Amino acid sequence: MTNLSVNINKVATIRNARGGNMPDLLKFAKDCETFGADGITVHPRPDERHIRYADVYNLKPLIKTEFNIEGYPSEKFVDLVLTVKPNQVTLVPDAPNAITSNEGWDVATNFEFLSELIDQFKENGIRTSIFVGTDLKNIEAAAKTGTDRIELYTEPYASNFKDDKEKAVTPFIEAAKCAKNLGLGVNAGHDLSLVNLAYFYQNIPFLDEVSIGHALICDALYLGIQKTIEQYKQCLK
């Protein structure tokens, strides 16, 4: 079974546009769980332009499924994760001013940094995941850090899906097999949608979790959040 984790950053973006508490981020997260989401993902950034650090603290006691915090492991981010102790932390190599995640880690270059972080998180009972591309040597390096999982950066798949979906998915199949052989769990995320998710799921072995935000929230504007989650879950069957 592949779990669906709903990234609620865009909900916070709408709230922050006007101030106040509309939409209610905490209620939205709980509703996502009620409607079938297997987890909630947040990605706090230094400028707090969407998820605020206070949101993360407020969400922790409310989440009954899986809580995944992703982001660049700055000192402030690491302190947040160690205090909140989510089920999973996903390490992403975002620059502070990045609009969105646009690449995976060069693990070899950052090996010592990542290894020390992973040791620290695992000592605190937090499952770890490293955001990576499909380069097999890079995935082998990720396994050596001691991480529990990788999260495959799927923007290249989504971008090439319409032109040649078989060609687009092939590197991800190989990456997932490599990770599995190395004892790693496999997550995936970035630009997965109702258009391309089912094919990805059908072809990627050993897929533990997908984390989806932007496309899912856009679909919810038309379909409503309950029907949207139902349709994304249907893609994972």
Active-site amino acid positions: 43, 70, 190
> Rounded distance, CA 67 to CA 132, Å?
20
Q: What are phi and psi of 63, to 5 degrees?
A: -75, 125
Residue 97 neighbours by CB distance under 10 Å: 8
Query: What single string gives the DSSP state of each residue in 128-171?
Result: EEEEE-S-HHHHHHHHHTT-SEEEEE-HHHHHHTTT-HHHHHHH
> Rounded distance, CA 112 to CA 107, Å?
9
3-state secondary structure of 91: strand
3-state secondary structure of 190: coil
